[in-house]
Chain A
Amino acid sequence: MSERASVAVVGSGPGGAVAACVLAEAGRDVILVEEGPGLGQQSCRPFSIEEMTQKYRHGGVTAALGPCPVAYVEGCAVGGGSEVNSALYHRAPAARLEEWARRFAVEGLGEKDLAPHFEALEAELSVLRDSTEVHPAGRKLAAGAASLGLECRQAPRMARPGPGPLHRLAMSDTYIPRALKAGCRLLDQTRVERLQRRGRGWVLKARTLGPLFEIEADQVFLACGAIQTPALLRRSGLAPRAGATLAIHPMAKLVAQFPEEVNGPDLGVAAQQVKPPHGRWSFGCSISSPQNLALNLLDYPEPLSRLARDWRRMASFYVMVPGSGRGEVGLLPGCPDPLVRYALSPEELRGLDDGLQELARLLQAAGAERVFAAPAAGPDARLTTLHLMASCPMGEHGGLCAADSFGRVRGSEGLRLADASLFCGPLGVNPQGTVMALSRRNALAFLKGGPEE
């Protein structure tokens, strides 16, 4: 068995789906390769145990090792992370783009350069900015913020309003069907083991529940995410510095118990967020299903033992810091999976600790009877992250950047990146919108450059 396409896109998350759609709609012969299965959003309840086993890489049990281990998750299904997240959408902060452009000599990355891409995405995705639906936990966050003189905003979402709860829009609802309609072929449950140069093109050594087979392509866009993209490059002997600069947004969580009900089945996750002007941390609402509450209450046996009775009066909240530590994606001989390490900076640890105290104060001001915070420092800390990025930064600074300003991998003609690995550091906000905008920008730059690109 073998496949051949003009362009192979590896990974079907927000980066890969947008690239595949742009290229297919421009008439290119595109094949989209995804390691996970094509299930769609209706295959299981959002944030359930089934979702973990069906759509998360390694069942969601993954951690960056270090003095304080940080649990992280990656989507592994057609649509990637968009199938399992809360569909939040932010534009990249202008100040962050300017900083990246300056430090990494990135061309065409100003706010004005990306604005047309964000505008196009927002029109195509019907990004909701002001939904009337407010989750009870989101109301609590807003009330607490108001009493502390802080502003609470509802984060924009890729979602379709309806009579019931919002229907979040994932790549399997949006760019992937469009790409397929334009002639893109989809290979799901297919893992690309390594890439090899052949003539002027590439061969992807891939596996679909069986022996290796080959996918030949003139051009390759890698969009496997900030962990798997550098791992694939390293397995293929390409870009030796790939993976050396992983960044994250570390998070710590707490559970607040209120006198009245703030939780229930199928409520989803509130999109309210509080970002104090000092920028040291931000607050938001977290998944509050009984099992997630239990996880966040592991250090508190008494409320845990009463969870069956009290869970509807409880909700989980997070504090997230911008990220200033340094991580690495490495490979061990004989191990197919990457080894991820992350060392939190003292600034991150202080931010998480101070932020948790401030969040507790905020929720008490909103009427919380009790607040239970997990440890945020030391080897027993319970930290997580949902945002992984910057493992193969873009730019013209050859010593720092694995790819050029438009995602072309240095020293590997015809190989491009189209995911959060391209970021030059932590973004400070949910990265999904920026991943899609960069992917669209890079795919259009490729098309503009012509077939010899």
Chain B
Amino acid sequence: MNWSSRIVGALVESVCAGLAAGQPPLAAPFDDVARFVDEAVGRMPSPQGLGVRLLAIAFDLSAFPSCGELFHRLDPEARAARLSAWRQSRLAVCRQFVRLHESLAVFRLYARLEPGE
């Protein structure tokens, strides 16, 4: 798994765990959700897709000064705090980055309620 996929995986896990969706069919594991989000970002048009990948790296690195670790290596509580900080950031681009991943994660997660899933 490459760096970018690890970041997306950690982000998705944090988003899904925060949805209080602990009962089947919405419970962990979230590997299918992470895979969907990673592939969806990979399919984005080139200008935006590149921007999102760069922001993901910035997001991962931004945890280091305060936590001493990259985001994807943090424990669940610290990840939730970092996610919340970006969700409420004064920078629209940070909020939109989280928003995009939340939207994709929620979309795939709740598709589990569809018949045949």
Contacts and interface: CB of A to CB of B under 8 A. Distances in A.
A65 B115 CA distance: 35
Contacts of B80: none
A305 B106 contact: no
A53 B11 CA distance: 21
B113 A304 contact: no
Given A308-B23, A308-B26, A379-B92, A294 B107 contact: yes
B21 A298 contact: no
A292 B39 CA distance: 19
A301 interface: yes
Interface stretch (A236-244, A276-284, A330-338): A330-338
Contacts of B19: 301, 304-305
B48 A290 contact: no
A65 B110 contact: no
B47 A59 contact: no
- Which size class do A's interface residues fall under? 35 or more
A332 to B, nearest CB: 5
Contacts of B20: 301, 305
A141 B61 CA distance: 48
Contacts of B107: 49, 291-292, 294-295
Contacts of A58: 43-45
B84 interface: no
A295 B103 contact: yes
Nearest to A266: B115
Interface in A311-343: 311, 332, 335-339
B104 interface: yes
A379 B109 contact: no
Interface of A: 45, 48-49, 53, 58-59, 61-63, 65, 69, 265-266, 289-295, 298, 301, 304-305, 307-308, 311, 332, 335-339, 379-380
Interface of B: 19-21, 23, 25-26, 36, 39-41, 43-48, 50, 92, 95-96, 99-100, 102-104, 106-111, 113-116
